């Protein structure tokens, strides 16, 4: 059984409809619109890269240096005690990312969110004090605007397990009503939430669906026994008893979620039509968001499937009938994105991949018309 911390970024823009302005790059002068990529590594599916605490973060950092705007989610951007500030990266909870991909929600970047914290009543007293000390440290040393906390009126009783059929981790909370009451209390006072793989998605989706606010999780765990031999991918989880720093940093400037209405969105709001490319594991193309991106009738982004990043899933582009560029690893994926952004056919960078252009003659009344 696991206890959770929950943090909430509050912004009065949440849920309201504003007038849309074109999405513009925030940096150098250019005559092109901002190039936007989405990086997805599903939670709880045993991803070779992104299945640990923060091991997909180097990919996100490299990708962010190439694109104008990168949209990703906590499973990619969180690294337990570690985090890395990236001004052109949007921290979007998974449920919200799916709604964005479906064209139902838009993203409104902000300069700052006030953050509230919900603590599970099931957290041991000493561990609760430690986590509040961590919060104060982020306020004093990082300047994060964490303004208040509350404790649920009952232990949430978080349970987690691995589905024997799919191999995915999942879970539930026995008292979701207690969680929602606590979140509602802070929302009323301020006008967002910080919610372990699998079960984290269950909890965060519940909150985002109910309140339409940014959300991420931070499990509260007692320190693990010291291990002299540890995989570097797991090290971020072992250097402390809290996951709060990366979550609070992410939520402090996470975009707010707006109902998508093409006539009434916010200044510099970002909508699904702005997305140019989507990068995801080769066998994880069956999620709601991935399918929504891949099956768009217009403004369909380039789908890039990374073969090296395998998961327990089997949802490959071929099985789903998705047109995708398959690459061996994230090195190649970033190269494809760089070429795409430059307006270059990525295939032209490969040896002997460009063949003679085919001709197409259309017989018409005994004649042949060539359209050039």
For residue 169, being part of any structural domain is answered with yes
Provide the residue range defining the domain that includes 243: 3-21+78-259
For residue 251, being part of any structural domain is answered with yes
CB 239 within 8 A of CB 81: yes
For residue 138, being part of any structural domain is answered with yes
177 HSE (CA, 13 A, CB side): 0
For residue 215, being part of any structural domain is answered with yes
Q: Residue 353 has what pLDDT? A: 81
Q: What is the mean pLDDT of each run of 10 residues along the chain (372 residues)?
A: 63 45 55 92 91 92 98 93 91 95 95 90 91 93 92 84 66 84 85 46 78 84 74 78 88 92 76 97 96 96 98 96 97 97 93 83 53 43
For residue 42, being part of any structural domain is answered with no
For residue 314, being part of any structural domain is answered with no
Q: Residue 174 has what pLDDT? A: 87
Tally Cβ neighbours within 10 Å of residue 119. 24
Task: For 257-285, give the DSSP string.
Answer: EEE--TTS--TT-B-GGGEEEEEEETTB-
Q: How far apart are CA 367 and CA 365, in angstroms?
A: 5
Size of the chain in residues: 372
**How many domains does the chain fold into?**
1
For residue 15, being part of any structural domain is answered with yes
Tally Cβ neighbours within 10 Å of residue 111. 7
For residue 265, being part of any structural domain is answered with no
Place of tokens 């909430």: 8
């Amino acid at each position: 059984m696991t206890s959770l911390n929950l943090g909430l970024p509050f912004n009065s823009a949440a849920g309201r409809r504003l007038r849309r302005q074109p999405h513009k790059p925030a940096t150098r002068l250019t005559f092109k619109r901002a190039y936007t990529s989405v990086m997805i590594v599903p939670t709880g599916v045993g991803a070779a890269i992104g299945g640990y605490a923060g091991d997909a973060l180097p990919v996100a950092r490299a990708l962010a240096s190439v694109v104008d705007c990168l949209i990703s989610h906590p499973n990619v951007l969180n690294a337990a005690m570690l985090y890395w500030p990236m001004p052109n990266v949007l921290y979007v909870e998974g449920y919200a990312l799916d709604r964005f991909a479906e064209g139902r929600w838009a993203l409104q970047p902000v300069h700052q969110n006030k953050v509230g914290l919900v603590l599970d009543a099931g957290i041991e007293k000493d561990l609760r004090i430690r986590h509040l000390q961590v919060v104060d440290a982020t306020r004093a040393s990082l300047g994060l605007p964490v303004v208040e906390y509350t404790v649920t009126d009952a232990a949430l009783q978080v349970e987690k397990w691995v589905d024997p059929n799919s191999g995915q981790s999942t879970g539930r909370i026995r008292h979701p009503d207690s969680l929602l009451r606590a979140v509602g209390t802070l929302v009323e006072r301020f006008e967002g939430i910080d919610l372990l793989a699998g079960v984290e998605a269950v909890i965060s989706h519940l909150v985002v669906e109910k309140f339409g606010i940014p959300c991420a999780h931070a499990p509260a765990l007692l320190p693990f026994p010291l291990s002299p031999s540890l995989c570097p991918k797991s090290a971020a989880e072992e250097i402390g008893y809290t996951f709060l720093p990366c979550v609070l940093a992410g939520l402090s400037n996470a975009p707010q979620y707006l109902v998508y209405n093409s006539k009434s969105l916010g200044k510099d709001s970002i909508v699904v039509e702005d997305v140019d490319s989507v990068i995801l594991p080769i066998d994880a193309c069956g999620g709601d968001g991935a399918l929504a991106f891949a099956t768009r009738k217009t403004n369909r982004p380039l789908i890039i499937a990374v073969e090296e990043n395998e998961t327990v899933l089997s949802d490959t582009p071929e099985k789903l009938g998705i047109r995708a560029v398959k690459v061996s690893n994230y090195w190649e994926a970033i190269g494809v994105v760089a070429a795409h952004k430059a307006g270059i056919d990525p295939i032209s960078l490969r040896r002997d991949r460009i063949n003679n252009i085919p001709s197409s003659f259309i017989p018409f009344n005994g004649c042949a018309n060539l359209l050039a």
